[in-house]
């Protein structure tokens, strides 16, 4: 029996044993606590016991994430509710978001790694926030099929970019909706930013011809073979009449339910589906095709990247810097908020070159910091310092070089507040508008509608 299987059996026995003990004494001890407090306490007791028994908390969080996770159809339904993308109004908003973009970011990609499968529930990024409204429950794991699919395409054609990095871009440039996931227009924007040949279609036959002619195709699918709500998948190849598909929300047993059984086969991280079954059961909505040169290099190893900046995001202790990609000897430590330069990744570890050379756990690195040297912090703000007949401009990025957004691109809440403050059709925030800032970049804050200069606002 493998060490992992032995460990899993031991952990199950421990959990059952603690559950039995709780039946005798835990309730009386906690009868005055809320249900939430009791559950939290029980979970922490189990975590503490497991940590003491065999593993540190850091090691638990760094378990290998190459295996397909265990999920249930009920959990899938909860995720699908976050990824719903079908309404005409939703698509229209996405078009407006795209048409409002006049400048594109200059992004440095990592080394070319070839066709790489990403799963949105990968432990390295499943808890990474993917939200335009600062909602911590909206993560790559719960609603990130869009950026995960886009990251697979760009990594395969141009160079390495990970799902959380792509997700941050979609949020920053207005392609993450407040509730329904990713706007379709994000995929056109992705093609423009990374200079990839692109075509859209609603025809499955056209999409199949594009796959045969060296295209990776992202597909929006509705309730059916791949999802119970809304979802994005990627067709990465075709063999005769069988489609080769990367499903970013693939979990163990997903296709064993009564309505899916026998319609696809799964090998490793790849789903194989006949064209006929795809046509009959996928409930496809739209196809977004990206041209490649036909020299498909499939990556099954670790992904390395070019240097990029991250921030240390530990909650209560310093982050250990180690001599290798794993639990090697500690050669230093870094405080929360420290800016580091990442040179490469190996599994769930990152090699940094600044301010110290060594390896750190990727789970404790963030793509942005919650505070800045200007003293601004995330949270609620009110516009207070614009004149009576003016508005605070909302932009697609954190500086005046980015394009302004129009009133149609503002959130429903912002437009409602603008109406209260005198002008529903204002192309920005009127004095008195209250909003939540989820990210800080210098003296700029990311709001549900876009980026604003916080010099004209007051923290509340």
331-383 per-position pLDDT tens digit: 999 888 788 887 777 767 888 888 888 999 877 877 555 444 456 788 899 88
Band (74; pLDDT cuts 50, 70, 90): low
Query: pLDDT tens-digit profile of 217-226?
Result: 999 999 899 9
Is residue 301 classed exposed, middle or buried when 0-12, 13-18 and 19+ CB atoms within 10 A define those classes? exposed
Distance between CA atoms of residues 43 and 14, nearest Å: 12
Measuring CA to CA, which residue among 96, 31, 79 is closest to residue 226? 79
Is residue 284 classed exposed, middle or buried when 0-12, 13-18 and 19+ CB atoms within 10 A define those classes? buried
More reliable by pLDDT, 12 or 31: 12
**Residue 299 structure tokens:** 């990556």
Distance between CA atoms of residues 93 and 408, nearest Å: 8
DSSP state, 23?
Answer: I
Measuring CA to CA, which residue among 446, 444, 452 is closest to residue 427? 452
User: Could you tell me which residues are beta bridge partners of residue 288?
Assistant: 200, 218
**Residue 20 structure tokens:** 């039995």
Q: CB neighbours (10 Å) of residue 182? A: 29
3-state secondary structure 211-243: HHCCEEEEEEECCCCCCCCCEEEEEEEEECCEE
Rounded mean pLDDT, 261-265: 91
Q: What global pTM score does this model have?
A: 0.52
DSSP state, 196?
Answer: -
Q: Which residues contact 219 (CB under 8 A, 6 or more apart)?
A: 207, 232, 233, 234, 235, 282, 284, 285, 286, 287, 288
Distance between CA atoms of residues 154 and 167, nearest Å: 13
C-alpha to C-alpha distances, 150 to 90, 166, 251, 312, 345, nearest whole angstrom: 19, 7, 19, 26, 20
Rounded mean pLDDT, 120-125: 84
Q: CB neighbours (10 Å) of residue 99? A: 12
Distance between CA atoms of residues 425 and 60, nearest Å: 51
Q: Which CATH number fits domain 308-366: 2.40.170.20, 3.40.50.970, 2.60.120.260, 2.30.30.40?
A: 2.30.30.40
**Residue 441 structure tokens:** 């970049």
Distance between CA atoms of residues 279 and 88, nearest Å: 22
N-term to C-term CA, the chain: 58
Measuring CA to CA, which residue among 204, 206, 227 is closest to residue 86? 227
Q: What does the pLDDT read at residue 241?
A: 95
* Percentage of residues in the chain having pLDDT higher than 90: 33
73-299 is classed CATH 3.90.1150.10: no
Q: Is the pLDDT of residue 277 over 90?
A: yes
379-459 is classed CATH 2.40.128: no
């Amino acid at each position: 029996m493998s060490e992992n299987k032995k460990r899993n059996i031991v952990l199950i026995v421990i959990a059952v044993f603690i559950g039995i003990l709780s039946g005798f004494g835990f309730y009386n001890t906690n009868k005055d606590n809320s249900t939430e407090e009791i559950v939290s306490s029980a979970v922490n007791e189990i975590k503490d016991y497991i940590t003491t028994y065999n593993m540190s908390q850091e090691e638990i969080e760094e378990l290998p994430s190459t295996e397909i996770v265990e999920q249930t159809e009920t959990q899938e339904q909860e995720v699908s509710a976050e990824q719903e993308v079908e309404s005409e109004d939703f698509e229209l908003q996405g078009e407006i978001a795209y048409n409002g973009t006049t400048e594109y970011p200059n992004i440095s990609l990592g080394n070319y790694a070839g066709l790489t499968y990403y799963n949105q529930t990968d432990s390295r990024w499943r808890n990474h926030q993917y939200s335009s409204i600062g909602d911590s429950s909206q993560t790559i794991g719960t609603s990130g099929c869009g950026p995960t699919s886009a990251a697979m395409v760009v990594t395969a054609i141009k160079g390495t970019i990970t799902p959380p990095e792509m997700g941050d871009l979609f949020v920053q440039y207005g392609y993450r909706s407040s509730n329904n996931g990713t706007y379709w227009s994000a995929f056109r924007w992705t093609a423009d930013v990374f200079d990839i040949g692109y075509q859209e279609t609603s025809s499955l036959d056209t999409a199949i011809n594009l796959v045969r002619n060296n295209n990776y195709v992202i597909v929006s699918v509705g309730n059916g073979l791949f999802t119970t709500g809304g979802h994005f998948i990627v067709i990465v190849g075709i063999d005769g009449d069988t489609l080769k598909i990367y499903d970013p929300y693939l979990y163990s047993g997903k296709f064993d339910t009564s309505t899916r059984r026998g319609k696809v086969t799964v090998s490793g991280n790849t789903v194989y589906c006949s064209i006929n079954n795809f046509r009959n059961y996928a409930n496809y909505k739209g196809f977004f095709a990206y041209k490649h040169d036909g020299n498909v290099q499939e990556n099954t190893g670790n992904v390395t990247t070019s240097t990029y900046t991250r921030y240390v995001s530990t909650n209560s202790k310093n982050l250990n810097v180690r001599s290798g990609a794993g639990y090697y000897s500690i050669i230093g430590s870094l405080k929360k908020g420290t800016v580091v330069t990442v040179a490469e990744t190996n599994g769930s570890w990152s090699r940094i070159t600044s301010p110290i050379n060594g390896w750190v756990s990727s789970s404790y690195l963030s793509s942005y910091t919650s505070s800045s040297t200007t003293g601004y912090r995330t949270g609620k703000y009110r516009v207070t310092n614009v004149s009576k007949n003016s508005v605070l401009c909302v932009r697609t990025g954190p500086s005046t070089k980015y394009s302004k957004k129009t009133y149609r691109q503002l959130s429903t809440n912002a437009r409602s507040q603008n109406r209260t403050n005198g002008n529903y059709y204002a192309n920005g925030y009127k004095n008195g508008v209250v909003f939540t800032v989820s990210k800080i970049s210098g003296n700029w804050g990311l709001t549900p509608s876009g980026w604003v200069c916080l010099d004209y606002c007051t923290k509340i």
